[in-house]
Amino acid sequence: MSVSFKNYGPEPFFTDDCRKVRDFLIRINAEKFATPRMLWGAWEWAVTHGGRDNDNLAKIGMWEDGGELVALATYECPLGEGFLCLDEAYGHLKSELIAYAKENLHDNGKLILSLPDGDREFSHFAMAQGFFPTMSHDHFALLDIDAIQTVSLPKGFSFASMAEGWDWQQYNRVMWRGFDHGSKQPYDDGTISMRKQMLSSPTIIPELVVAVKAPDGNFVSHCGMWYRPGDFYCMLEPLVTDPDYRMMGLGRAVVHEAARRCGELGAKVMLGAISQQFYCNIGLYPICTYTNWTLKQSF
């Protein structure tokens, strides 16, 4: 193995390096979840996210063997977080990835490193380089698509998708309210442009970007599903419900409907990051956890 290093290019959005990372994440997760914290859908969601730091992209590290990407040290949106992905055949790079993240992905000396629980090598290398685990975790879970029951909505509610003509003002409304930012969402051109950017990935399948429409026409629940024909899995990101419409089964309905559509295209399971009991209540079951490790000088 003759591994070389390069920095990610400084240009944002869908560059050659962006596509190389995407193809790498597809390849290493083709048969099983190697990096559930950073699947290709999570990568492309980050690439288009309005909150991403596009000024420090060149700090992302890429390791290649014969021109093929085999390892990655990246942040998702802001500096100060680190995600490490590698081909399992290149486990000898783990210590180097941690060292690179420590040196390059910090925010004024502060860095949270997301590491998979149960990987003793990563844990030992992290501790040797001044990191220690916290009680902050990310949990990941699966939904078996063939177990989904008939999807139904309350009377007067209906499904809408990006394939049917997407109402960007309504998308902005449900995202703003669903993430608990309050009732007075901005409607300016810059905000709508940012929302369009967040759904600009060329890999998005419009039928899988689904919303629940209330009788008055407002979008009141929404989920995005990332799926690539041929993959055994789809990925949920994001999921939101308007606070005025929670506890009505709308979140469950929109997730199951989008996952069902992925199943029709070939997906067997849906993967989601779970942060509330709600996700288990709608049929997801845990498969793994990642722990957030921090540098001692962060305190």
State the number of CA atoms in the 13 A half-sphere of 86 facing the CB: 24
In contact, 188 and 201? CB cutoff 8 Å: no
The answer on 174 and 111 residing in a single domain is no
Instruction: Let me know whether 276 and 175 are in one domain.
Output: yes
Same domain, 65 and 153: no
Q: What is the pLDDT of residue 185?
A: 86
Domain that holds residue 154: 144-286
**Inside any domain, residue 71:** yes
Report yes or no on whether pTM surpasses 0.75: yes
Long-range Cβ pairs for the range 100-108 (8 Å, 24+): 100/61, 100/73, 101/61, 101/73, 102/129, 102/130, 102/131, 102/295, 104/59, 104/61, 104/73, 105/59, 105/73, 105/74, 105/75, 105/79, 105/80, 105/81, 106/79, 106/80, 106/295, 107/78, 107/79, 107/80
CATH assignment of the domain containing 117: 3.40.630.30
Report pLDDT for 127.
Answer: 97
Domain boundary among 77, 103, 129: 129
CA angle (277 as vertex; 275, 279 as ends), nearest 5: 75
- For 1-17, write each residue's pLDDT tens digit: 699 999 999 999 999 99
* Same-domain status, 149 and 279: yes
Domain membership of residue 137 (yes or no) is: no
Domain finish residue from 82, 99, 129: 129
- Nearest-angstrom CA–CA distance, 222 and 209: 8
From the list 227, 217, 222, 277, the residue with the least C-alpha distance to 253 is 222
Which of 26-30, 100-104, 117-121, 293-297 comes out lowest in average pLDDT?
A: 293-297
Whether 192 and 79 map to the same domain: the answer is no
Q: Are residues 150 and 275 in the same domain?
A: yes
The whole-number pLDDT of residue 165 equals: 87
Whole-number Å distance between alpha carbons of 43 and 240 = 19
pLDDT band of 299, cuts 50, 70, 90:
very low
Q: Are 105 and 82 in contact (CB under 8 A)?
A: yes
Q: Is residue 231 part of a domain?
A: yes
Residue 138 within any structural domain of the chain: no
CA atoms lying within 13 Å on the CB side of residue 45: 18
Residue 248 near residue 240, CB atoms below 8 Å: no
Based on the structure, what is the number of domains in the chain?
2
Do 10 and 125 lie in a common domain? yes
How is the chain split among helix, strand and coil, in percent rounded to 5? Answer: 35, 30, 35
Same domain? For 162 and 279 the reply is yes
- Whether 213 is covered by a domain: the verdict is yes
Which residues is 107 bridged to in the sheet? 110
Both 121 and 234 in one domain: the answer is no
Quote the pLDDT of residue 298: 43
Structural contact between residues 278 and 97, judged by C-beta atoms closer than 8 angstroms = no
Residue 124 falls within a domain, yes or no?
A: yes
Are 18 and 67 part of one and the same domain?
yes
Which neighbouring-strand residues pair with 133? 293
Q: Strand, helix or coil at 95?
A: helix
101 domain residue, yes or no = yes
What is the number of helices (H) and of strands (E) in the chain?
A: 8, 12
Mean of all residue pLDDT scores within the chain: 96
What percent of the chain has a predicted confidence (pLDDT) above 90?
94
pLDDT band at 184 (very low <50, low <70, confident <90, very high): confident
Name the pairing type of β-strands 233-241 and 269-274. Answer: parallel
117 domain residue, yes or no:
yes
pLDDT by residue (tens digit) across 236-293? Answer: 999 999 999 999 999 999 999 999 999 999 999 999 999 899 999 999 999 999 999 9
Beta strands, E only, the chain: 3-7, 61-65, 68-74, 81-86, 112-116, 131-144, 158-161, 209-213, 219-226, 233-241, 269-274, 285-295
281 lies in the same domain as 148: yes
183 — pLDDT class (breaks 50, 70, 90):
confident
Predicted confidence at residue 182, as pLDDT, reads 87
User: Which of 129, 164, 179 is at the close of a domain?
Assistant: 129
In this prediction, residue 297 has a pLDDT band, given cuts at 50, 70 and 90, of low
Same domain, 121 and 31: yes
Q: What is the maximum span of the chain, computed from C-alpha positions, in angstroms?
A: 62
